[in-house]
Amino acid sequence: MRNITVIGTGYVGLVTGTSFADLGNKVCCLDIDETKIKMLKAGQVPIYEPGLHEMIQRNVQAKRLAFTTDYATALAEAEFVFIAVGTPEGVDGEADLQYVGQASESIAKTMKHPVIIVNKSTVPVGTGDWVSDIVRTNQPEPIDFSVVSNPEFLREGSAITDMTAPDRIVLGSLDRDAANKVAELYLSLRAPIIITDLRTAEMIKYASNAFLATRISFINEIANVCEQLGADVKEVAAGMGYDKRIGHHFLDAGVGYGGSCFPKDVKALAHMATTHGTHPQLLKAVMDINQYQRIHVIQKLRDLLGSKLKDKVIGLLGLAFKPNTDDMREAPAAEIGRALLREHAIVKGYDPVAMTVATKMIPNLEMAKDTYDLATDCDALVLLTEWNEFKHLDMPRIKSLMRQPIFIDGRNLYDANIMTNYGFTYRGVGRGY
């Protein structure tokens, strides 16, 4: 058993801390947000992540997991201090490191014995050196410490699986002994462990997310060409994927990527590249294509409903940026919903878990109680999140409830021929009709 402190109780911090506790360690999760800590102490979880609530309860009851707002309490016995705070997008697309800086300064002022500081937050290349400087500068008296970069690769909706059965563990440090000690925390997971220097580890995270975003934008560009040439992008992607050099993952055409990672990480990497005198043309194209996918949905609605969408009733089926989360950050639904409202359409929405968050993200969005309530009197439905419960809907019933049976399938969830036979005017993404 090791003593671990995790600073930050967002998706990364809460999943990381709880998973380490579940592996038998003693973990204290710290957050300066008193409301979140009060919720956690009361048995409530401030985020939606399948399986997380039960795991937290189990480890709190076993006295392996605790929550606090006090640095002295959190660091009293800590051997490892994970920084897992937010790094939101800055004014120019750069990563905003103010919370990382605040956490580093607080660690420096509070620590009473040597610790290993682990950067779990997604941070620009060079941040590990910067954290070291902050800690060294703000210590009341010199105490040994090491900084290790340990980027996270957690997907919202499957974060617990990604933490406990990872593809790889990436560690970077100038102190090899410290990196080896962090590696020991992960040994029971039996995952490949890559140990490198600080800056390389930081770059691995950005390069990984940028590559995955590039695959998504690539297949979306192919989809837009397919629409014009009469090809079916789903079949194209399937045919491509059997090539072992390509594979099937991240080749699902749709309305583009969203969430808390890909959008800001691609922008941050492009900003780093530009700042250091290189020309990130590919990254800029990835972002442009992603933006166009949202606009393309509006264009399809105009083609089918007329150039003016004023007073047209449009239902958004799915609001979260992906299934199994309530996260609306950079969600296609948020951007599309706001765009439709600017054109004075009447916009309704339904999502299994993201309704509360969506009301804050899309002002004047009318909330439906279920899919069938959403369809009632709609001129068009737009599917934006491929929740499992949407896969087997009563489509004849939905058609009967709509004012006009227009269906835009932004995730290619349905069979075009079946939807057409039901009587829908159906449009997918890159389906060539």
Among the options 28, 226, 261, 378, which is catalytic? Answer: 261
With a cut of 70, which residues of the chain have pLDDT below it? 433
Residue-wise burial string across 340-350, b where 16 or more C-beta atoms lie within 10 A, e elsewhere: bbebebbbbbb
Beta strands in 282-344 (DSSP E): 313-317
pLDDT of 275: 94
pLDDT of 214: 98
Number of alpha carbons in the 13 Å side-chain half-sphere of residue 378: 30
pLDDT digits (tens, 9 = 90+) for 67-84: 999 999 999 999 999 999
pLDDT of 274: 96
Strands 80-83 and 169-173: unpaired
Structure tokens at 42: 């009361």
Matching CATH topology for 3-197 and 227-427?
yes
pLDDT of 92: 84
pLDDT of 433: 67
pLDDT of 93: 86
226 catalytic per annotation: no
Q: How far apart are CA 203 and CA 125, in angstroms?
A: 6
Total Cβ atoms within 10 A of residue 7? 30
Residue type, 1: M
When the candidates are 3.30.390.30, 3.40.50.720, 3.40.50.620, 1.10.3720.10, the CATH number that belongs to 227-427 is 3.40.50.720
pLDDT digits (tens, 9 = 90+) for 378-395: 999 999 999 999 999 999
Break the chain into its structural domains and give their ranges: 3-197, 227-427
Which class would CATH give 3-197? alpha beta
Give the residue from 167, 171, 164 showing the smallest Cα distance to 189: 164
Q: How far apart are CA 353 and CA 343, in angstroms?
A: 27
Q: How far apart are CA 264 and CA 95, in angstroms?
A: 7
Count of residues for the chain? 433
